[in-house]
Amino acid sequence: MPTDRLEVFNTMGRRRELFAPRIAGKVRMYTCGPTVYKYAHIGNFRTNLMSDFWIRAFEYLGYEVTQVRNITDVGHLVADADTGADKVLESARAEGKSPDEIAAFYTDAFHADAALLNIRPADHSPRATEFVPRMVELVAQLVEKGHAYEVEGNVYYDVQSKPDYPKLSGNTLEALQSGYRMEVDPLKRHPADFSLWKAAGPRRLQVWESPWGLGYPGWHIECSAMSLHYFPDGFDVHTGGVDLVFPHHEDEIAQSEPVAGENFVRYWIHGEFLEFRGRKMAKSTGNILRVPELKDMGYDPLAFRYLYLLAKYRAKLSFSDEAMDSAQAGLQSLRGRASELPPATEPASEQAAHLEGEFRSALEDDLNLPRIPGLLQEVLRADIPGGEKRALLERWDQVLQLDLTRASEEIDAPAEVEALVAKREQARAERQWDAADRLRAEIADKGWSVEDTAGGPKLRPR
């Protein structure tokens, strides 16, 4: 039976609530997926890890989960305002490829990077371009219901037509109107009105037919079309990064509720940013790092997944070499001890039952992951049979996905580091000790330490 004790922090209302899905025992989740115009970075994957941990926690607590995670391959602008260029088209022009080629390449890259972090593939991964006819239908419905208006081939959502707009972010229409500093689109009735459909210019590469002429969808309408295709009566959980609360999710609510009914989403769950060098990680600033680059730096990508356990999903998390060194050392230590445990046996002791209860309690406490590392240590220290310890760790790893009982293994160093080690060995053979010391320092600068042993030099990540 699913738990009846799970509490979730709902962005709608900004409070913790007892979780109760629409259909008993089933969770329907929609996750805002990648915009496939560039490689995803580890900041993007912090949000995706949050969704993955929630899915696995739901399942551990007895629920059956269906997840939809979309692929945005059209219509996402450079800025949240209704001006700018489509990001996918910008990359297509810059790389000399078609929009479809760009989208396919970066979609494959996203899935490959997600697999390195043990992020489960979504049950459905719809592409926005596959749903443009459904978007046109939704826009037409909103026009018919008096929530949208057309001007010169553009269709805008009329925010004043919905008395409770905006209700997710805590903004007000008065504050939004006074807060606009940029030049307001003269076609709009209110500065906060947003695009549902945009008229295509003569150089536009991706265009579709519509009742308002050739054009393309606005960013926000895409998620409404895809989520309501799979969950026409609404769904339980919508996840995404905190940067999507406004305007994306706010506008998604405004345009979906007139069609799907009030509170078409029960729980809005948002994750905070990953900070890198003291700033939010973002493609626009170049302040990014990809998942495969973690391997080049000598880290197991799952050490980044372990790092995620050290902060609540609603709190900022700082990425640094020191943080990753600590996370990797902690994960390797856990694996080293766990892999030596005897085969799993069904837990029967009172202490094992207590530890299991503590783990479930952490999940039920709004996914309180920072409680987990301490519980892992408690299991390894516990005065219970080794087989019970292994069983608990293997069971918990269904959620954690850290390969806890896998024997620690050597991590291959980058080729450039191996080359420096070879040069250092040559310098030592020629008794050029100063050169050998300089090379050791250069190896250290690249994140590795070298230990001289009887069997030759051994490299380890610092």
Full DSSP string of 418-461: HHHHHHHHHHHHTT-HHHHHHHHHHHHHTTEEEEEETTEEEEEE
Q: Which range has the worst mean pLDDT, 17-26, 94-103, 315-324?
A: 94-103
Q: Which range has the worst mean pLDDT, 86-95, 177-186, 257-266, 446-455?
A: 177-186
Mean pLDDT of the chain: 90
Which pLDDT score is estimated for 43?
A: 93
Q: Which pLDDT tens digit goes with each residue over 6-63?
A: 999 999 999 999 999 999 999 999 999 999 988 999 999 999 999 999 999 999 999 9
What separation, in Å, do the N-terminal and C-terminal C-alpha atoms of the chain show? 46
Which pLDDT score is estimated for 366?
A: 98
Residue 81 has pLDDT above 50, yes or no: no
Which pLDDT score is estimated for 152?
A: 96
pLDDT band at 80 (very low <50, low <70, confident <90, very high): very low
The pLDDT of 315-334, averaged and rounded, is 93
Q: Which pLDDT tens digit goes with each residue over 107-117?
A: 999 999 999 99
Which pLDDT score is estimated for 7?
A: 98
Residue 286 has pLDDT above 70, yes or no: no
Residue 92 has pLDDT above 80, yes or no: no
pLDDT band at 82 (very low <50, low <70, confident <90, very high): very low
Sequence-ordered list of residues with C-beta below 8 angstroms from that of 178, at least 6 positions apart, any chain:
none
Which pLDDT score is estimated for 205?
A: 78
Residue 101 has pLDDT above 90, yes or no: no
Q: Which range has the worst mean pLDDT, 17-26, 139-148, 178-187, 198-207?
A: 178-187
Q: Which range has the worst mean pLDDT, 163-172, 316-325, 328-337, 447-456?
A: 447-456
Q: Cα-Cα-Cα-Cα dihedral of 426, 428, 433, 434, to 10°? A: 30
The pLDDT of 123-145, averaged and rounded, is 97
Chain center to CA of 26? 22
pLDDT band at 79 (very low <50, low <70, confident <90, very high): very low
Residue 77 has pLDDT above 90, yes or no: no
Please provide residue 200's backbone torsions phi and psi, each rounded to the nearest 5 degrees.
-85, 135
Which pLDDT score is estimated for 40?
A: 94
Rounded Cα distance between 92 and 87, Å, is: 9
Residue 414 has pLDDT above 90, yes or no: no
Q: How is residue 29 written in tokens?
A: 């989740």
Which pLDDT score is estimated for 390?
A: 97
